[in-house]
Amino acid sequence: MRDIFLLILMALSQGLFISSSSLAQVNTGKQDLGLTEFQLGQPEKIERTPEEIVGQGIEQYKKATELEPTDPVNAYRNYIFASYNYHSDAQKKYKKLEKSLTKEQIGDVAYEVASIFASTMNGFAKLREINVLKTLNPNQMFKQKNEWLEKAVKNNNTRAMLELAEVKSNMHKEGQAIKLLEKAAELGNLDANYQLALRYLDGKGVDKDDKISRELFEKAAALNHEPSKSALTSIYLFPEIMAEQGNRDAQNIVATSLFREAVQNIIDIRYAVKNRSPEIFAKSRYWFEQAAEQGSGYAMHYLAMYSYYGLGTEQNEALFVKWLTKAAQADFGPANVNMGYLLENGIGIQKSEQKALEIYTMNANEGVVSAQSILGRLYKSGNELVSKDLEKSLYWLNKAAEQNDKISQYLLCTYYSEGPEQSRDYLEAGKWLRIFTTGKDVYLSGPDGIMLFIPELMKSVKNIDAEITEEQKKDIILKAKEWMVLHPVDEQSQFSKSYLDIYRKVDLHVW
């Protein structure tokens, strides 16, 4: 019996179909077969002989012939079933009939056939419309299911697109999965719209983008898609409801989310003032003000920045100093560091370079990244505050770079590529250069902005490229990727870490 099963499975897997005249080749013993239903449930146990199975194929073929003039879709379906039940002419008939059907009709039937194979493959039921003497092995069932899914997709069946997207995702082919979901969403499938929203929310297969995610949820929710309505409320609207009720943390979340929406993909914060809607900044500022009234140093720090740049309000140096001082008094680390900057330069308060150094050192020791970066740069060049000390400079730059401080990462790149001869390590330089230039970082800019780095960057690239091989470049990419996995960017708090320390003029290449 086992050998007969294998012969039939081989015939099916090769797309062969046997007629009733070939029945003598099939074992005449009985085999228990189940009744398949598209719904889950216990299959009805029945027995059929090979003659009965082929007989069913003949009946399906006959039914299809009768239906063809008046109901071509059902005729098409029955021809397909008959072809799997070993009717030799059925395959030619359904392929011919296919030419007279619409894409939607072909897609619906193809999806139905794929569902039959999926139902059997998952062990929920055995085949009814398509009878074989034994359920195909998982690989063969998977192949049959996917072939019909692909056919349904080509004919614009959005349910098939969703299922095939899941298959592609499980095979780690995220790009193909995204294209299928996008096509299904364009054709109006709200479940696909929902799945895309989740992917943008999590950054799975696409760049993480809360704005796009929310827009997709809102689009489907407006059409009464319940999962999207629930997601929109729990993920996005819930913080707004809590903010309205006076929850300080929720107010900061809403305000920060609005800020990120306004400055998305803006490299230099100054351009956000000119090129982004002031209404968004105004709404963000409102919620920061509500949180600041409840003593949030985080919110006060943002309000200082808003006053300095004129975001959602007019530029106001007095308010800038006021809010920064309040944030520092609330013991918000980055604000303390920026108070050091004010003291160092005598902005709004009496100048005291020694006091500024004490603030930088205290906060650097407490792990505040902007303070670590500032000390690294101070010790790099030396000034009236400190003597030049490369050992201390590298110590603090490494500390800051480990926390994803971009300037420190770039300075380490130039140290290992252009520093003292004994310090040259082009693989290490290349690693830091790769890390520096990877990912979005909208938080890098003050008055000078990232544009300062463009010519310097090109110089570093040329210096490093001249010293390493193609194999070493691959090694650099691998090391950089490993580092980035271990040091994910906390984008939510990145801006609050620092925004004034970039003002410090620093020679990027002279060591």
Q: Is 91:123 a contact under the CB 8 Å cutoff?
A: no
Q: Does some domain include residue 90?
A: yes
Cα distance between residue 218 and residue 225, in whole Å: 9
Cα distance between residue 231 and residue 196, in whole Å: 13
Q: Does some domain include residue 482?
A: yes
Query: Residue 149: its pLDDT value, please?
Result: 87
For residues 363 and 450, membership in a common domain is answered with yes
For residues 354 and 491, membership in a common domain is answered with yes
- What is the DSSP secondary-structure string of 88-142? TTHHHHHHHHHTTS-HHHHHHHHHHHHHHHHHHHTTS---SSS--SSPPPHHHHH
Cα-based distances in Å from 291 to 77, 180, 258, 301? 63, 43, 14, 11
- 42 DSSP assignment: P
Q: Does some domain include residue 501?
A: yes
Length of the chain measured in residues: 511
For residues 324 and 411, membership in a common domain is answered with no
For residues 56 and 108, membership in a common domain is answered with yes
Q: Does some domain include residue 169?
A: no
Q: Does some domain include residue 263?
A: yes
- Phi first, then psi, for residue 401 (nearest 5°) are -60, -35
Query: Residue 137: its pLDDT value, please?
Result: 63
For residues 389 and 266, membership in a common domain is answered with no
User: Can you state the angle between helices 158-170 and 103-121, rounded to 10 degrees?
Assistant: 40
Which two three-digit tokens encode residue 201?
């929310």
Query: For residue range 75-118, what is the model confidence (pLDDT) as tens digits?
Result: 888 888 777 766 678 788 888 888 888 989 988 988 888 887 77
Whole-model pTM? 0.48
For residues 147 and 36, membership in a common domain is answered with yes
Strands 31-34 vs 45-48: parallel, antiparallel or unpaired? antiparallel
Which two three-digit tokens encode residue 467?
């010293």
Q: Does some domain include residue 184?
A: no
Cα distance between residue 271 and residue 280, in whole Å: 15
> For residue 32, what are the β-bridge partners?
47
For residues 341 and 486, membership in a common domain is answered with yes
Q: Does some domain include residue 216?
A: no
Residues of the chain short of pLDDT 50, as ranges, are 1-46, 122-126, 132-135, 265, 267-268, 439-452, 491-506, 508-509
**Domain end: 156, 178, 199, which one?**
156
Q: Which residue segment(s) compose the domain that 407 sits in?
A: 334-511
Query: For residue range 403-421, what is the model confidence (pLDDT) as tens digits?
Result: 888 888 888 988 888 888 8
- What's the structural domain count of the chain? 3
Which two three-digit tokens encode residue 192?
């696909």
For residues 493 and 505, membership in a common domain is answered with yes
The CA dihedral of 453, 339, 296, 439, to the nearest 10 degrees, is 10
Q: Does some domain include residue 87?
A: yes
Query: Residue 391: its pLDDT value, please?
Result: 92
For residues 313 and 430, membership in a common domain is answered with no
**Domain end: 106, 138, 156, which one?**
156
> For residue 33, what are the β-bridge partners?
46
User: Residue 15: in which H helix or E strand, if any?
Assistant: none
User: Residue 230: in which H helix or E strand, if any?
Assistant: helix 226-231
Q: Is 267:233 a contact under the CB 8 Å cutoff?
A: no
For residues 46 and 113, membership in a common domain is answered with yes
Query: Residue 68: its pLDDT value, please?
Result: 84
For residues 256 and 279, membership in a common domain is answered with yes
Query: Residue 78: its pLDDT value, please?
Result: 82
Is 32 strand, coil or helix? strand
